[in-house]
Amino acid sequence: MPKRQIDWQDRAMRDPYLAGSIAARSYEWWQEITPEQEADSVGLLGEARAKFVQGWQEEMDEQEQERDPKHVLFEEYEQMAREYEKGDPAAR
């Protein structure tokens, strides 16, 4: 029997926060769907719905931070600093 892949809709009933985060990862800016519509598609209500939307929003915020040019430059600077501390491998 082949393994069945668990998607975010299956996960929504067990861990709505994680499901919201997973669903947001596949979201593209041109899609006109909202986290509330996604929560409706799997029948989430009350606290589970709130956790789903929270997971979605936090994932979107994290993605936005990763695209922030200041964040990217800081990461590049940190990488250069780590490599500088190692020194020139040819000089060893």
Lookup: tokens for 9:
């809709």
**20-56 pLDDT tens trace:** 888 888 888 778 888 889 888 888 889 999 999 999 9
| Residue that is written with structure tokens 């082949």 in the block | 2
**The pLDDT value given to residue 39:** 87
How high does pLDDT run on average in the chain?
A: 79
In terms of C-beta density within 10 A (0-12 exposed, 13-18 middle, 19 or more buried), how is residue 64 classed?
A: exposed
Lookup: tokens for 78:
């940190």
Each domain of the chain, given as residue ranges in start order, spans 8-91
